[in-house]
């Protein structure tokens, strides 16, 4: 009887290890991403963009696992400006892009099982290397002064190079396919190094310090291209 009980427990644990975990391994991902720059010191509107990357899924527990991500994201900002005549306010397209590194914990309300859909919330953090704001290809930036502080293009290239923050969302999938729907909140001030034309007689900057933080909505679909061995 004792041996039969041990055999039953062993078989149960084996089946759980086979079928009650999301497929672990390396995933290729692609999807939609839109980053908004929230600032009263640089007036802009965000347009949809894209993201591509890789993520790794690891962990043996049936209820949760861990996700490491590396992704490139890009979208367009319509930045408001006036020309040197100050006659009319217009918009110029600027590219916002970053390399994003993330660590997330996935908790499954619908547990992963063979040939069944799995689903649950996701929470984590990210660190991003941000490209300086730059005009999109073909954008005309001659004699433009960006509102409300009348910044020029060279001022905007001093935007911060790093961002960090937190993300929450929903993750799920079916066998080797996964998806991640996420809202990310950036904590770094990306405009802290941008200066307006305000200096004293000794050429010391007299302020103000500009403010600009990000929030991002993204949706990515991933496919398992390499399985991690048990």
Point out which residues pair with 47 in neighbouring strands: 76
- Angle among Cα 99, 104, 106 to the nearest 5 degrees reads 140
What is the band of 114 on the pLDDT scale with cuts at 50, 70, 90? low
Per-residue HEC secondary structure of 193-206 comes to CCCCCCECCCCCEC
Query: Residue 140 has what pLDDT?
Result: 61
- The CATH number of 2-227 is which of 3.20.20.70, 2.40.160.20, 2.40.110.10, 3.40.50.620? 2.40.160.20
Higher local confidence (pLDDT), 200 or 184: 184
- Provide the mean pLDDT of the chain: 86
What is the band of 175 on the pLDDT scale with cuts at 50, 70, 90? confident
Average pLDDT over residues 18-27: 71
pLDDT per residue as tens digits for the range 40-93: 999 999 999 999 999 999 987 778 899 999 999 999 999 999 987 788 889 999
Query: How far is Cα 23 from Cα 54, in angstroms, rounded to an integer?
Result: 15
- Angle among Cα 147, 165, 78 to the nearest 5 degrees reads 25
Query: Residue 1 has what pLDDT?
Result: 55
Query: How far is Cα 192 from Cα 102, in angstroms, rounded to an integer?
Result: 23
The DSSP 8-state label assigned to residue 15 in this structure reads H
Contact present, 228 and 190 (Cβ < 8 Å): no
Contact present, 65 and 103 (Cβ < 8 Å): no
16-20, 35-39, 96-100, 162-166: least confidently modelled range: 16-20
Q: Could you tell me which of 121, 125, 141 has the C-alpha nearest to residue 133?
A: 141
Question: For the chain, what are the domain ranges?
Answer: 2-227
Q: For the chain, what percent of residues have pLDDT higher than 70? A: 87
What is the band of 111 on the pLDDT scale with cuts at 50, 70, 90? confident
Average pLDDT over residues 198-224: 89
Query: How far is Cα 57 from Cα 108, in angstroms, rounded to an integer?
Result: 14
């Amino acid at each position: 009887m004792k041996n039969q009980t041990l055999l039953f427990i062993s078989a149960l644990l084996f089946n759980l290890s086979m079928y009650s975990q999301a497929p672990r391994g390396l995933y290729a991902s692609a999807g939609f991403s839109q980053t908004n720059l929230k600032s009263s010191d640089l007036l802009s509107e965000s347009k949809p963009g894209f993201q591509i990357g890789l993520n790794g899924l690891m962990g043996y527990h049936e209820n949760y696992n861990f996700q490491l991500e590396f992704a490139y994201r890009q979208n367009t900002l319509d930045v408001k400006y006036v020309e040197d005549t100050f006659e009319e306010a217009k918009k110029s397209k600027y590219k916002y892009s970053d390399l994003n590194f993330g660590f997330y914990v996935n908790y499954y309300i619908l547990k992963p099982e063979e040939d069944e859909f799995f689903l649950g919330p996701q929470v984590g953090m990210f660190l991003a290397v941000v490209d300086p704001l730059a005009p999109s290809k073909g954008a005309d930036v001659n004699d433009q002064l960006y509102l409300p502080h009348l910044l020029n293009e060279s001022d905007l290239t001093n935007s911060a190079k790093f961002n960090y923050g937190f993300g929450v969302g929903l993750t799920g999938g079916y066998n080797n396919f996964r998806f991640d729907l996420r809202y990310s909140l950036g904590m770094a001030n990306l405009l802290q190094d941008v200066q307006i034309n305000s200096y004293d007689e000794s050429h010391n900057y007299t302020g103000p310090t500009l403010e600009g933080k990000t929030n991002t909505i993204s949706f990515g679909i991933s496919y398992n291209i390499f399985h991690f061995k048990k």
